Structure formats: structure tokens, C-alpha cells
């Protein structure tokens, strides 16, 4: 598959002794690059770049994330406004005495980031694939060929998660077999899953591990804050759901059969070693597939295009459709995390949204699409007539196909491209993780400044005023969608950490309110004063606090 796959790329660093790394690569054709001037980075504690969200005011108290319930009521995922009484502009400008003013003293000064969450995600991805420049990666590697980065730095990804933390998850959380965790084995080209029912108790899991079974955790982001932080910030950069799986493999074993997946895979080796073999797609229709394969046999996959051993701190990337298999070496266990993205996020998936909508619009707006078919078209169209030697039939077939081509070309003039993009964005919102709010971000949100209890007394909220400056929590936290005669704001602010556990959450807004939301989107990542919102009245501007949890 030379048209699809370029030669695999291997990046390695200089050893401290000054001698060149041997690459640990069996494939002699693998390209090796030695970035002589790249300084290694060690990570002693988790430090995933992430956006700091704040405002011009500062808060001192902290509470658990939740919805500000005093302004909204919820019905099947839709939040409808509960109107409050509003006085004149003078009263709107009056801040409650509990509100912190710009420049007021606080117990702790909080950092305010001017970066967008998309840029924070880009920085995180740059850290993952360091020392490869992002632009080079996307122009030469993304969706084109595998990449192996050999770091010689076991601590590089160490702070993400460890086997000790995996053990703690099993002890402290209700991890369920099949839903959250699989026990697997692969012997004699037979892949088996050995999941009992119920909770995955540590004793059961480790007994299976000692018997040579692999452990796969399907959604570690739901149980580990560092994995959650990584996926949440990366989804901002990629503009689609980012997921993760953990794999723990006993020494000298293999847990899965050769197969290919429907996602872009970033394999981050956390502990031990693992021997990986990658193979080109067998057929063109398996390049960048929309669905994963079944288990494959050795005789059907050919020779590997990359054969490498990953050690702690190394990274392996391969595009969707890359056939792969991996086994732990006899002298070491293997623990890695696979970060994945771009499942059903292709041009074709966009067209699946666009073309039906375009055809519906064309049928409504253009009479040419509503004209009747030729009365006799069934006499010359169809499989039985495609190789007919009749001159008359072939002429009619040519005319029929020419008319279809003409209508197809005309179809794009009716294509609601932006509406299709909104539907893709809506799918992203449904699948996305909620934003990972750090303490300093949380202290600036409306949740922290809503009604709260102190010593048996309810302290009033710090309501929005015309002087308040706000911005969205994340660049991709909402999607403003016009559906028929309704404008909705879909958001992921309260999504579950479990994939699609709950339905879409949204607000219905008026056209005037939609204009204010558009202005905030265009202004992001900068703050915008409530008074500057392009809305008719001061009351409408301040009324935006009914979806407080989306910005601060």
C-alpha cells in the first residue's frame, strides 16, 4: 500500500554518553533522526498544559462543581429560563456587597491565562510528540505513516498513571467487568475474553494477571484525574472526542490478536517494555477505515512495516487502519495507555450529514429536482441493462446518467454547509468530556459565586452586572445550533466522565440572546463586558446569567 503508507519514522535521542542510540528497531529501512540540539524534558509531577479561566474579579471560597439551580429548570436535557424581576439600569449596576471588585484584595491571587483552550491543547500535544514539531507531524506523518519516538527517558510520561494507581482504582471505585475492564488472552491465534459478571475486584483481576491474562481498562479517564485532564485538553485541540484505554500485560504474553482500529492511536509506554509489529492495510478499502476489524490471522497480514520495542517514556503513533499486534517481553511486564481520536471524523462523515440535508433543501427549493423520471427508465437502467449492446438503450442510459450528474452538480448550491458543521459539532458535544477545571478556574465560575451555605446562613450569589467581564470556559464548550424555528445552545459543561452516559444538554435561546452568545464566541479567549454585548436592553444582557455555568 505504498500510495497510502510512507516509510515508518523513528525519532531517537542521543544517549548521555554521546554514543548514538541503537534504535531498538528490527526494520533496517526505518528512518532514524537524531535531534542533536533538542533538550530532554523530564516530568516529575503531572503538568498538562491547560487553560486558566478567570475574570476580572476574584473569589476565595471553593465548592463542588454543580449547576446553579436558582435560575434554571431542567426538562429532558433542555434547560429553560426562569425569569427574574429586573429593576432599572441603576439597580443592574449595583453589585452585591459580597461581590469581589476588580483589584480587590483576596486570600490568593489567581492566575489568568490569556490563551485559548485550543492553544492549550496544542501545547499538550506538542509535549506528547516532542521533539517532532507539530506542523511537521501533520504534514508528513498524520494519517500517512507510523511514528516511533524513542526517548531514553523513563520518567517522561510517568506522572500520567502507574500500576499502583490502577490497583488503587480497583480498590476505591466500582469498576465493572466488560463495562470498564476486560481480562483477555491470546494463544495459538485464539483471542479470548474471560470476564465474569459484576465488579472487578482486585483479587480477581490480579489472579487473572498472574495466570497470564492481560488487563484492559476501557475508560480510565472516568477514574483518574490525570488521564481525564489529558483527554479533556486534547479534545479542545482535535475538535473531536479523545478517549483512552489502559493495557497491562504480564511478561512473555500477548493479550490481543492482530487487528486494525478506526481511530488514530497514540501508544504511550508507561512501564516495562512491549514488542510491537505494525502492518500496512491489506486493501485500499481498509485505509483509514470507519470501523475496526475483527481478529486477523498471521497468514493474512503479511510482513511488518515496523518492528520495535517500546520502553517507558517512548511513544508509538499509527493511523487508523494500521494492522498491529504487541507482546510483552519475557523479562518485563508492560503497562501503556493508548490515547485515541478521530473516530468517524472524516470528510465522508461530514458529507453524510450534508448530502441528505442538501437534497431535502433542493427538493423544496428547485423544481428540477421534483420533475418526474422518464416513464420507461426501468427498461434501460439497472444491473440487467448495464452491458446491453443496443444502441438505443445505451443512448438512453447516457442521457439518464448525464441528467443525474447535472442534478448532482447543482445539488451543492443547496448544501447547508454550516448547518452540517453544526451537526458534527453537536455530535462532538454529545461525546465530549466535561471541561477539567483547575482550582483557580473553578473559583472564578458562577458555581463558586452562587448561593452557598456558611455557618448555617445562605450567602447570596454574586449576580452579573453590566460591568462584569465574562468569557466561555472553553473554546469548544458549546455549539450554537439553529434547528427549524428554534435556536439551541448545546454544551458539555455537565457531561458525564462515562461515554454518552447521559443525553445532550442544551438551552433554548431567543435570537437576541443568540447574538450575545455569538459575540462571546467571536471574542474568545478574551473577556467581554456584559455592557458590550450586542443586545437591545440591559435586562436582556444581564439575563444571560441563566446559563452561568458555561462562562465566568
Tens-binned pLDDT, residue by residue, of the chain (552 aa): 444 556 777 777 544 334 333 333 333 233 333 222 233 333 333 334 333 222 333 332 333 333 333 233 344 454 444 333 333 332 322 233 333 233 333 334 445 567 899 999 999 999 999 999 999 999 999 999 999 999 999 999 999 999 999 999 999 999 999 999 999 999 999 999 999 999 999 999 999 999 999 999 999 999 999 999 999 999 999 999 999 999 999 999 999 999 999 999 999 999 999 999 999 999 999 999 999 999 999 999 999 999 999 999 999 999 999 999 999 999 999 999 999 999 999 999 999 999 999 999 999 999 999 999 999 999 999 999 999 989 999 999 999 999 999 999 999 999 999 999 999 999 999 999 999 988 777 777 766 666 667 788 877 666 677 888 888 889 999 999 999 889 999 999 889 998 888 889 998 988 888 998 999 999 999 998 888 888 888 777 777 655 556 665
Assigned CATH class of 347-416:
mainly alpha
Rounded CA-CA distance 98/339 in Å is 44
Rounded CA-CA distance 22/160 in Å is 27
Any idea which residue has 442521457 for its cell?
A: 399
Rounded CA-CA distance 187/257 in Å is 9
In the chain, CATH 1.10.10.1500 sits at: 347-416
Chain CA centroid to CA 298, Å? 32
Rounded CA-CA distance 87/90 in Å is 8
Whether the CB-CB separation of 460 and 84 falls below 8 Å is answered with: no
The region, left, alpha or beta by phi > 0 then psi within -120 to 50, assigned to residue 455 is: left
In the chain, CATH 2.60.120.650 sits at: 9-39+118-341
pTM across the whole model:
0.81
Rounded CA-CA distance 62/346 in Å is 41
Rounded CA-CA distance 435/532 in Å is 26
Whether the CB-CB separation of 317 and 346 falls below 8 Å is answered with: no
Q: 268 in helix, strand or coil?
A: strand
Nine-digit cell string for 44: 516529575
Q: 449 in helix, strand or coil?
A: coil
Assigned CATH class of 72-110+443-550:
alpha beta
Fold of 9-39+118-341: Jelly Rolls (2.60.120)
In the chain, CATH 3.90.930.40 sits at: 72-110+443-550
Phi, psi dihedrals of residue 215, rounded to the nearest 5°: -115, 125
Amino acid at each position: 500500500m505504498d500510495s497510502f503508507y510512507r516509510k515508518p519514522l523513528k525519532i531517537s535521542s542521543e544517549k548521555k554518553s554521546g554514543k548514538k542510540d541503537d534504535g531498538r528497531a528490527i526494520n533496517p529501512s526505518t528512518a532514524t533522526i537524531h535531534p542533536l540540539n533538542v533538550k530532554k524534558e523530564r516530568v516529575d509531577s503531572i503538568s498538562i498544559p491547560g487553560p486558566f479561566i478567570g475574570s476580572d474579579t476574584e473569589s476565595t471560597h471553593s465548592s463542588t462543581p454543580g449547576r446553579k439551580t436558582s435560575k434554571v429548570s431542567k426538562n429532558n436535557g433542555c434547560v429553560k429560563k426562569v425569569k427574574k424581576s429586573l429593576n432599572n439600569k441603576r439597580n443592574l449596576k449595583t453589585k452585591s456587597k459580597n461581590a469581589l471588585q476588580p483589584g480587590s484584595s483576596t486570600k490568593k491571587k489567581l492566575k489568568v491565562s490569556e490563551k485559548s483552550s485550543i492553544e492549550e491543547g496544542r501545547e499538550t500535544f506538542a509535549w506528547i510528540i516532542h521533539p517532532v514539531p507539530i506542523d511537521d507531524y501533520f504534514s508528513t506523518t498524520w494519517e500517512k505513516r507510523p511514528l516511533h519516538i524513542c526517548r531514553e527517558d523513563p520518567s517522561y510520561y510517568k506522572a500520567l498513571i502507574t500500576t499502583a494507581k490502577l490497583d488503587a482504582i480497583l480498590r476505591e471505585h466500582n469498576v465493572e467487568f466488560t463495562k470498564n475492564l476486560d481480562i483477555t488472552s491470546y494463544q495459538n491465534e485464539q483471542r479470548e475474553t474471560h470476564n465474569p459478571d459484576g465488579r472487578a475486584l482486585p483479587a480477581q483481576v490480579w489472579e487473572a494477571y498472574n495466570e497470564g491474562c492481560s488487563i484492559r481498562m476501557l475508560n480510565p479517564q472516568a477514574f483518574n484525574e490525570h488521564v481525564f485532564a489529558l483527554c479533556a485538553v486534547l479534545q479542545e485541540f482535535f475538535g473531536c472526542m479523545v478517549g483512552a484505554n489502559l493495557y497491562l500485560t504480564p511478561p512473555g504474553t500477548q493479550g490481543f490478536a492482530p487487528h486494525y482500529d478506526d481511530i488514530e492511536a497514540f501508544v504511550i509506554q508507561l512501564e516495562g517494555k512491549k514488542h510491537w509489529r505494525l502492518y500496512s492495510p491489506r486493501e485500499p478499502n481498509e485505509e483509514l477505515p470507519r470501523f475496526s476489524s475483527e481478529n486477523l490471522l498471521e497468514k493474512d497480514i503479511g510482513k511488518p512495516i515496523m518492528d520495535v520495542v517500546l520502553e517507558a517514556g517512548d511513544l508509538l503513533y499509527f493511523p487508523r487502519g494500521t494492522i498491529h499486534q504487541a507482546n510483552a517481553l519475557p523479562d518485563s511486564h508492560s503497562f501503556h495507555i493508548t490515547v485515541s481520536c478521530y473516530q468517524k471524523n472524516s470528510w465522508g462523515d461530514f458529507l453524510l450529514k450534508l448530502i441528505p440535508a442538501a437534497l431535502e433543501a433542493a427538493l423544496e427549493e428547485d423544481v428540477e429536482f421534483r420533475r418526474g423520471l422518464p416513464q420507461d427508465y426501468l427498461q434501460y437502467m439497472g444491473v440487467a441493462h448495464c452491458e446491453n449492446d443496443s444502441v438505443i438503450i445505451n443512448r438512453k442510459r447516457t442521457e439518464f446518467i448525464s441528467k443525474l450528474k447535472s442534478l448532482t452538480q447543482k445539488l451543492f448550491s443547496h448544501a447547508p454547509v454550516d448547518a452540517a458543521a453544526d451537526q458534527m459539532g453537536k455530535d462532538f458535544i454529545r461525546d465530549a468530556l466535561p471541561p477539567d477545571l483547575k482550582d483557580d478556574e473553578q473559583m472564578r465560575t458562577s458555581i463558586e459565586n452562587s448561593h452557598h451555605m456558611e455557618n448555617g446562613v445562605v450567602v447570596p450569589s454574586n449576580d452579573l452586572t453590566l460591568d462584569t467581564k465574562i468569557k466561555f470556559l472553553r473554546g469548544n464548550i458549546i455549539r450554537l445550533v439553529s434547528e427549524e424555528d428554534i435556536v439551541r445552545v448545546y454544551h458539555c459543561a455537565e457531561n458525564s466522565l462515562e461515554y454518552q452516559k447521559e443525553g445532550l444538554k442544551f438551552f433554548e435561546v431567543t435570537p437576541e440572546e443568540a447574538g450575545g452568545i455569538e459575540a462571546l464566541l467571536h471574542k474568545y479567549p478574551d473577556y467581554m463586558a456584559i455592557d458590550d454585548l450586542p443586545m437591545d436592553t440591559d435586562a436582556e444582557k444581564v439575563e444571560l446569567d441563566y446559563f452561568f455555568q458555561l462562562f465566568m
